[in-house]
Amino acid sequence: MTEEQLPSTREQRRREGRLVLFILVFLFPILAVAIVGGYGFIVWILQMIFGPPGPPT
């Protein structure tokens, strides 16, 4: 590869910084909400099928 085809270190650092910012600001919160919401949905469905938790009456 020639010198013109390789990305400069400054461009690469800027791109990596934007990627880290995207992951921290958007991806992790969206994944956290999806995981917690999915778990809550599974618990809700299981309680509809098997009844609420607690001692048997």
Give the pLDDT of the chain (57 residues) as one tens digit per residue. Answer: 555 666 689 889 999 999 999 999 999 999 999 999 999 999 999 999 998 888 876
Residue 3 domain-assigned (yes or no): no
Report pLDDT for 55. 85
Model-wide pTM > 0.75: no
The count of domains in the chain is 1
**Cβ partners under 8 Å of residue 15, min gap 6:** 7
Expressed in angstroms, the distance from the first to the final Cα of the chain is 75
Output the CA–CA distances (angstroms, integers) from residue 3 to 6, 8, 9, 15, 52, in the order listed.
6, 9, 12, 19, 66
Report pLDDT for 53. 87
Give the range of the structural domain holding residue 45, as residue numbers without chain letter.
11-50
Give the pair of three-digit tokens for residue 30: 């969206």
Report pLDDT for 54. 86
Report pLDDT for 29. 96
